[in-house]
């Protein structure tokens, strides 16, 4: 473990050894000799006990209660673009509702020809679609507006997940009930004690929104809105109403608490943006990161994620010197609209130089991810939401990695 | 549709755009689900719009709201809406929005008085939602508006008066203008982009990251 010794203590990474010493044990390990548990051991499987650190985490001081709070996806330990359901971040406003699907109804009413109520089995009689989309809390990175604050990619970009959602397009449901001519807005409401409500313009509803019941191949988890939730591709997570019980069609927005008091973006002049729905292009290097230090000189891979609510990621550039120079990183397939996109960039480290790692996403509209300085110049430091700025990881000569901001 | 637009549309379909087309195999009306009656709709349809649509019959004043407030709200929000511990502050903050520490309350920030009624009725008290009657919520709305010095203590809040209450920050909101960062839509620099990179902040010095799992220290 000599190479690990070069990095600070507490590093849990396994398998790093001096070149040339393979570390083949002299004794045959137990798992190569004795029987393991049989197939009836785990009817619903869990990760290896050695992956017990891959969990959602909460930052206690962020909110007044855990019931109206957030936890974070462990981005630093995940691979590919699909977030496992068990570590998909949660944001509740009145705790996690536990709903018996046999009791659940989705009411569709307002400016429609035939108001109806749909049970879960009713919903399953429509033709579903499967689509991969990210959902990102509007407040993702919100603690970093004034400066580098939380030392980890999980805490600075982890209000984020991406899943294959299975559900019924709102287009199908609204065609089925028949929209009246003045139908311009949709109010979506949850069945939890917050009864969260958001107004969604009809164009968006008919374009790509869906009522999902499936997530990554299984029914939604209770924390994700079981038995049904709204999917609003590319738009702030708050609008993805969970435990969906009601869709009301109207001709004006409702200006609910979640689109006036919250999810409005305060500017230095005291005015605020409203209806800031889209999550603009964003990216982050997930490794190296504060949780994933560098382990010695030689070949390494920069791993990262990029995403845009305005469509596909077109390009991701990576800098190792804090933004002086950039190289374009190869993107991994699939590159889907409004979904997480992976990039991997192999590089060599001399094991002693400081690095300032950054990633910069560009989407198919030509939008380029801004710096925190660019964002502050436009919006100040009190807008809370929609911080999609370039993150900087300072790699120290020891290999430790820290969240810093640069100018 | 012009020929070029047609080709563009086909191109979008061919590359698997996420937008959903109409379902050609849509079930016939009535085949799926249950018709709902106006009475059933009314049971769940509790939302209120700024123009007052959705406000139920009933009324209340701040004077009537005081006891309801003390019994149901003051434990978290304070007797005067000042907020206990970390619970939300509901009074004051007027003229603070452009300061370094804005205090966003109904009186300083919320654009519509109707939202107070809607939110209190649907989601408060925290942990015992929808336990208050419309009269109680009207009285609480009046109490909050009075704390915020928007209406006098004998002002009667009901479906007629509430939509007409003009909140101080009524005109404080502008539609999303993004992209609002000019450099974000230009071809980005790739080489020798900045002369000097200065570190302006270290998360480690702030030291508020949860110990468990927060980095390698």
| Cβ within 8 Å, pair B49-A367 | no
Interface test with B, best of A6, A73, A255 (most B CBs within 10 A): A255
Percent of chain A having pLDDT more than 70?
95
| Cβ within 8 Å, pair B206-A187 | no
The per-residue pLDDT for range A37-49, each reduced to its tens digit, is 999 999 999 999 9
Measure CB to CB from residue A117 to each of B34, B199, B202 and give the nearest one: B34
Measure CB to CB from residue A151 to each of B29, B32, B209 and give the nearest one: B209
Res B4 pLDDT > 80: no
Measure CB to CB from residue A61 to each of B40, B203, B208 and give the nearest one: B208
Q: A207: distance to nearest CA of chain B, Å?
A: 5
The residues with which A345 forms a beta bridge, in sequence order, are A302
Interatomic CA distance for residues B126 and A94, integer angstroms: 7
Residues with Cβ within 8 Å of B154's Cβ and at least 6 positions away in sequence, in order, are: B61, B62, B63
**Would you state the pLDDT for residue A16?**
53
Q: A177: distance to nearest CA of chain B, Å?
A: 7
Determine contact: A364 vs chain B, CB below 8 A: no
Measure CB to CB from residue B203 to each of A172, A178, A403 and give the nearest one: A403
Res B6 pLDDT > 60: no
Q: Give residue for tokens 């962020």.
A: A62
**Mean per-residue pLDDT, A286-308:** 97
Residues of B whose CB is below 8 A from A235: none
Assess contact for A305 and A341: CB atoms under 8 A: yes
The per-residue pLDDT for range B149-191, each reduced to its tens digit, is 999 999 999 999 999 999 999 999 999 999 999 877 789 999 9
| Cβ within 8 Å, pair B27-A317 | no
Residues of A whose CB is below 8 A from B89: none
Res A385 pLDDT > 70: yes
Burial of A348 (0-12, 13-18, 19+ CB in 10 A): exposed
Measure CB to CB from residue B209 to each of A155, A171, A255 and give the nearest one: A155
Residues of B whose CB is below 8 A from A327: 190
* Cβ atoms within 10 Å of A209's Cβ, excluding its own: 27
The per-residue pLDDT for range A193-246, each reduced to its tens digit, is 999 999 999 999 999 999 999 999 999 999 999 999 999 999 999 999 999 999
Q: Dihedral angle at the C-alpha atoms of B128, B129, B135, B140, nearest 10 degrees?
A: 80
Residues of A whose CB is below 8 A from B103: none
Interface test with A, best of B94, B120, B210 (most A CBs within 10 A): B210
Q: A300: distance to nearest CA of chain B, Å?
A: 19
Interatomic CA distance for residues A199 and A187, integer angstroms: 5
**Would you state the pLDDT for residue A63?**
87
Interatomic CA distance for residues B158 and B211, integer angstroms: 51
Q: Is the pTM of this model over 0.90?
A: yes
């Amino acid at each position: 473990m000599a190479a690990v010794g070069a990095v600070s203590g507490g590093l849990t990474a396994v398998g790093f050894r001096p070149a040339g010493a393979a570390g083949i044990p002299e004794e045959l390990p137990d798992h190569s000799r004795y029987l393991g548990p049989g197939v009836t051991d785990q009817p619903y499987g869990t990760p290896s006990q050695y992956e017990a650190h891959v969990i959602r985490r909460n930052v206690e001081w962020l909110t007044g209660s855990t019931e109206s709070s957030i936890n974070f996806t462990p981005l630093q330990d995940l691979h590919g673009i699909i977030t496992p359901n068990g570590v998909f971040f949660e944001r509740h406003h009145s705790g996690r509702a536990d709903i018996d699907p046999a009791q659940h109804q989705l009411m569709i009413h307002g400016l429609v020809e035939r108001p109806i109520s749909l049970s879960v089995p009713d919903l399953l009689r429509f033709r579903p679609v499967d689509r991969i989309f990210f959902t990102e809390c509007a407040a993702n990175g919100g603690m970093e507006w004034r400066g580098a604050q939380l030392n980890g990619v999980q805490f600075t970009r982890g209000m984020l997940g991406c899943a294959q959602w299975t559900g019924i397009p709102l287009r199908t449901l609204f065609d089925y009930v028949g929209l009246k001519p003045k139908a311009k807005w949709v109010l979506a409401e949850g069945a939890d004690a917050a009864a969260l409500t958001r107004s969604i313009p009809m164009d968006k509803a008919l374009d790509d929104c869906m009522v999902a019941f499936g997530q990554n191949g299984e029914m939604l988890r209770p924390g994700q809105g079981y038995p049904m939730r709204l999917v609003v591709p590319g738009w702030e997570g708050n609008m993805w109403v969970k435990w969906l019980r009601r869709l009301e069609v109207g001709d004006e927005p409702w200006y609910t608490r979640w689109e006036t008091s919250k999810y409005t973006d305060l500017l230095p002049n005291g005015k605020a943006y409203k209806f800031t729905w889209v999550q603009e292009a964003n990216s982050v290097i997930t490794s190296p990161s504060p949780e994933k230090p560098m382990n010695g000189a030689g070949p390494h891979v920069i791993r990262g994620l990029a995403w845009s609510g305005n469509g596909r990621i077109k390009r991701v550039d990576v800098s190792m010197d804090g933004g002086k120079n950039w190289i374009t990183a190869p993107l991994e397939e699939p590159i889907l609209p409004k979904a997480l996109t992976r990039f991997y960039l192999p590089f060599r480290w001399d094991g002693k130089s400081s690095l300032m790692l950054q990633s910069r996403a560009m989407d198919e509209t030509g939008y380029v991810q801004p710096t925190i300085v660019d964002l502050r110049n436009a919006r100040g430091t009190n807008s809370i939401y929609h911080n999609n700025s370039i993150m900087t990881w300072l790699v120290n000569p020891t290999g430790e990695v820290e969240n810093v901001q640069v100018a | 549709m012009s020929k070029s637009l047609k080709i563009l549309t086909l191109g979008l379909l061919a590359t698997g755009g996420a937008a959903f087309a109409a379902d050609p195999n849509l079930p016939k009306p009535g085949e799926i689900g249950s018709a709902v009656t106006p009475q059933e709709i009314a049971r769940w349809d509790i939302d209120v719009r700024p123009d007052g649509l959705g406000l139920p019959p009933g009324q209340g004043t701040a004077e009537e709201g005081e006891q309801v407030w003390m019994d149901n709200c003051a434990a978290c929000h304070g007797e005067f809406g000042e907020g206990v511990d970390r619970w939300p502050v509901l009074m004051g903050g007027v003229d603070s929005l452009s300061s370094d520490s804005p205090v966003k309350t109904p009186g300083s920030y919320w654009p519509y008085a109707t939202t107070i009624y809607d939110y209190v009725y649907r989601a408060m008290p925290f942990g015992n939602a929808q336990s208050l009657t419309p009269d109680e919520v009207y009285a609480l709305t009046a109490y909050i508006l009075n704390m915020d010095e928007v209406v006098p203590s004998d002002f009667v809040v009901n479906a007629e008066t509430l939509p007409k209450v003009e909140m101080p920050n009524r005109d404080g909101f502008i539609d999303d203008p993004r992209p609002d960062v000019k450099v974000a839509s230009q071809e980005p620099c790739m080489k020798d982009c900045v002369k000097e990179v200065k570190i302006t902040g270290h998360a480690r010095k702030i030291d508020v990251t949860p110990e468990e799992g927060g980095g390698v220290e």
